Amino acid sequence: MKGEEGFTLLEVIVAVTILASGIMAVFGLFSGSLRLSAGSRDVSEAYIYAGQRIEEALLAPSPLGGTEQGSFGDRFRWELSTSIVPYEAEATEGEKKEEYEEIRVTATISWTDGGDERSTEVSTVRWTPVK
């Protein structure tokens, strides 16, 4: 029918191609966002596990120096390093000299993320008087 106007097949193909490209770009953004969210979740979980191991080590009444290893489930591995450093405080004349020891605790949490090895490390120090 002459006189009727409409879209040609070429115009429809170009419009669908532009629409498909836009949809693919949006899906790419969503998948990237999910990947970053999963990575952030893993790091947060690792810091929670590190904090837990450090708290357990600091609660020990008489910690021993050395290294311990273990795992949290199937994904996360931990290594706890404890070192005891003797320290003597300076005393002025006439004052009693206090002796302290420094206990350094370092927790390293590692995991595999898509074939890449990731890890995080948390350290703290506790001072205790020598008896």
Whether 63 is covered by a domain: the verdict is: yes
- Stated as kind and residue range, the H or E segment containing 128 is strand 116-129
Helix (H, G, I), strand (E, B) or coil at 27: helix
Give the separation between CA 84 and CA 62, rounded to whole angstroms: 11
Residue 37 inside a domain? The answer is: yes
Q: Is residue 1 part of a domain?
A: no
Cα angle value 75/124/90 (rounded, 5°): 160
Residue 60 pLDDT class (50, 70, 90 cuts):
confident
CA contacts within 13 A on the Cβ side of 70: 10
Concatenated DSSP letters of 39-98: HHHHHHHHHHHHHHHHHHHHH-SS---EEEEEEETTTEEEEEEEEEEEEE----TTSPPP
Evaluate whether residue 53 is within a structural domain. Answer: yes
Q: Is residue 44 part of a domain?
A: yes
Residue 52 included in any domain: yes
Tens digit of pLDDT for each residue in 70-121? Answer: 999 888 999 999 998 876 656 566 666 667 888 899 999 999 987 889 999 9
Q: Is residue 2 part of a domain?
A: no
Least confident piece of the model among 50-54, 107-111, 114-118, 127-131: 127-131
Taking the CB of residue 115, how many other CB atoms lie within 10 A of it? Answer: 5
Task: Please check the confidence at residue 125 and state whether its pLDDT lies above 70.
Answer: yes
pLDDT above 60: residue 52: yes
Rounded Cα distance, 30 and 22, in Å: 13
In a domain? residue 3 = no
Straight-line distance from the first to the last Cα atom of the chain, in angstroms, rounded to the nearest whole number: 105
**36: domain range?**
9-129
- Tell whether the model's pLDDT for residue 4 goes beyond 80: no
Q: How many domains does the chain have?
A: 1
